[in-house]
Amino acid sequence: MGIKVAICCALLTALVSRRVYIIMNREIPSNLDEPHLVRWLDEIGRVADAVLHYSHLVGIELSSWPVVKSLASIFFGLLLGNAGSGHKDSYYNYLENFASRAKMQIIAVEYRKTPHHPFPASFIDCVSVLHNILKDPGKYQVAADKIVIAGDGAGGNLAAAVSQELAGKVLMQILINPALQIMDFKTPSYLDNTDVLPGISSPERSVRNWMMYANMTDFAHLPLVLENYHVLQNVRNSEFGNYVKTEKYLPKYHEVTKRSSIPSTRSNYLVSKPFVDLVTDNRFSPMMAKTIKSIPNAYIITAQYDVLRDEAIMYTHRLFDDNIKTKLKHYKNAFHGFFLFSAVGPFQFRVSKEAMEDLVNFLDFHIHSIKG
């Protein structure tokens, strides 16, 4: 008995050490600071992906189990330094830090989420919260002329969509690594970041999130969607297709990539059916808005190692063209989601602190200097 346990322990130790060795020696871009921390973040994402993938294959949707959700939320809270603070919301400490540094009140919307609540639930929730605030700003101690909408990742998608919906009613939008479109999953940043930090940002991860948001939970179609088979030829050739053209909206001086748009794709109506309207629905894909003339001024943050990089840069240039005051901050040594690691907790990065500092200074200058 003792011997068997000893052999098991030895085997396990060997396996774990081997894995640790692999993780610590992975190739990652040389300009990232704290490379080991990045490797561990990436590993956590890879393990989570693998667990979800294999459970899905055997017909178990772990992501919708309440216990898995609570564990994930506790774990995420730990990463963000929320341990022992007694707050259920894993973002609480992060937001509190942000609010005190920016000297602003933050109202974090607890909107309905996928997979149980696909589009448009989250969009409707965010819009209705804003309508309530606008109806009676005093009740929420909000200065109605200084409202800023902000979001990170999928939240950036909502922030952009809500800013369009409430054009003329809010002062500014802050989009951090936002997801903006499903017209083209072969933008240069999608292609550049296929296998850089796949546990943090990859085409598969991104497309899976979009499909869930669209209530397309049959991931058998994922490989076809990745190839843009969901985009009908006439849609791609319409004015909407122009919004993702790198020649027009991704100037070379940014030096983010050597690639450019790939002209066209085949389409397959079977895949495209559920997605077809959403490709051009700006509440789902804010980048496809036909008119953005009166949307709020924007502060847009992008990261080099993010599949979503180029859509945010291209959207920025459309805003420039339409004379929306817009500040683009591109961080060449950052990855998707990096902004979260700017404040508290075991995972902190110099570039994240720098980005937070830049944003706080910007808000100081552009919000607090306005006479209310």
Contact pick of 215, 268, 297, 333 for ligand NAG (by CB under 6 A):
215
* CB-nearer residue toward ligand NAG: 55 or 217: 217
Distance in Å, CB of 120 to ligand NAG, minimum: 8
> Binders of ligand NAG: how many residues, by CB under 6 A?
3
Over the window 158 to 197, marking each residue x when it contacts ligand NAG by CB under 6 A and - when it does not, the resulting string is: ----------------------------------------
Alpha helices of the chain — where are they, by DSSP H? 2-24, 35-57, 66-79, 92-102, 121-135, 154-165, 188-192, 203-213, 222-226, 233-236, 239-242, 246-249, 269-279, 309-321, 350-363
- Which of 174, 154, 176, 178 has the alpha carbon at shortest distance from 296? 174
Does position 63 interact with ligand NAG (CB under 6 A)? The reply is: no
- Residue 215 or 268: the one with the smaller Cβ distance to ligand NAG is 215
Closest CB to ligand NAG among residues 63, 217 = 217
176 backbone φψ class: left, alpha, beta (φ>0; ψ -120 to 50): beta
Nearest residue to ligand NAG by CB is: 215
The least distance separating ligand NAG from the CB of residue 215, rounded to whole angstroms, comes to 4
Considering beta carbons, is residue 29 or 118 the nearer one to ligand NAG?
Answer: 118
Does 118 contact ligand NAG by CB under 6 A?
Answer: yes
Q: Are 351 and 33 in contact (CB under 8 A)?
A: yes
Residue with smaller CB distance to ligand NAG, 211 or 307: 211
Q: Which two tokens stand for residue 203?
A: 């085409």
Round to whole Å and give the CA distance between 283 and 162. 8
CB of 348 to ligand NAG, least distance (A): 38
- Smaller CB separation from ligand NAG, 145 or 277: 277
> Crossing angle of helices 203-213/35-57, nearest 10°?
50
DSSP 8-state assignment for residue 201: B
Minimum CB separation of residue 223 from ligand NAG in Å reads: 20
As measured in angstroms, the least distance from the Cβ of 336 to ligand NAG is 27
Closest by CA to 190, choosing from 204, 176, 177, 203, is 203
- Side chain identity at residue 76, one-letter code: F
Binding site for ligand NAG (CB under 6 A): 118, 215, 217
